[in-house]
Amino acid sequence: MLSRALVRVGATLLLGLMAATANAAGVTTCQGRFPNPITDICWSCIMPISLGGGTLASIGGQEDIRNPASPICSCGVNPTVGLSIGFWEPARHVEVVRRSFCLVSLGGVDLNPGIAAPDAGRYTDGTGDQNSFYQAHFYVNPVLYWLQVVADFPCLERASFDLAYLTEVDPLWNDDELTLILNPEAALFANPVALAACAADCVAATAGFARSELFWCAGCQGSLYPLDGHNIYHLGGVRTAELLMQRLTAKMHRELLAWGSHGAAGLCGPYFLPVMDKAAYKTQLTFPIPSTGKILGRCCQPFGRTTVLWGAGKEYPVKGEDFAFILFRKRNCCVGY
């Protein structure tokens, strides 16, 4: 009897040790991969390329927003006359991660400098709904420029790959009340009527582009507010990552770290745009499974589009629960001669 009891105790301790080890491994795991520009990026998303209001090139019926109607433009105090060109520039990269300071897009590098920051987690509130929290990182990634795909094209952002923003060092990212400093208008839309309007934004984003007038909505992903890492309705990792990617981009605009570059105002250079225009971005998943397969002829999705079609099968346990996206922003430019 004593030997059996000792065996049971030993087995219990062993199982407990194995569970603790597994939990620790889950917390400390930092997986990733630098996006391969050949296989992981859907280059057709750059299109359509436009001249004025007309289309010069497009593959697979790529979606576009309105361009300046006139093909002729001018910039500067002493006007330089040029051509009005429009395209979608792959210029930013966003990753949504479980472990703080885990740089997925740099191959899974642990950058933790010893600063206390909350890791991601999923939890159930008093109503039974599953909530979640993730950290996120914002990169400057002008792929076309640093690959030298097009030489001497003045419309490309001239920068190198750079880690621009870490939410782990931002106290607003983990506090719904503190983040009201950036978006006090969120209090106006925390009601059932404003949230119900997001259904119309979801329909618009799924059919084309989200409605800029509904700036408090993130399309089918729910509410864009608050601009932090908390999600009160966790319905899958891909959907939540898409939501937080939109929030972080909106946060960059609100902090004037991201500017507008589209429309007639963008022909002569970037301009302040503190309220993000959702229709000016298309996105493509690059990790854990690059979303290069075409859905209805396209592999990039506008902000707010449902993840039901393109997000299926893109998440898997342990190594496939962090996500990275490349952002294609709309760029209108006056190419002078």
Q: Which amino acid is at 323?
A: F
Contacts of 48 (CB under 8 A, 6+ apart): 55, 56, 57, 58, 62, 64, 86, 87
Rg of the chain (C-alpha set) = 22
pTM of this prediction exceeds 0.85:
yes
The predicted-structure confidence for 174-232, as pLDDT tens digits, reads as follows 998 899 999 999 989 988 899 899 999 999 999 999 999 999 999 999 999 999 999 88
pLDDT category at 59 given cuts 50, 70, 90 is confident
Assess whether pLDDT exceeds 50 at residue 18: no
H helices then E strands: how many in the chain?
5, 14
- The mean per-residue pLDDT over the stretch 142-152 comes to 82
Assess whether pLDDT exceeds 90 at residue 2: no
Assess whether pLDDT exceeds 90 at residue 124: no
Mode of pairing for the β-strands spanning 49-51 and 162-166: unpaired
The predicted-structure confidence for 295-335, as pLDDT tens digits, reads as follows 767 889 999 999 988 888 888 888 889 999 999 999 999 99
The CB density around residue 18, as the number of other CB atoms within 10 Å, is 10
* pLDDT at residue 26, rounded to an integer: 42
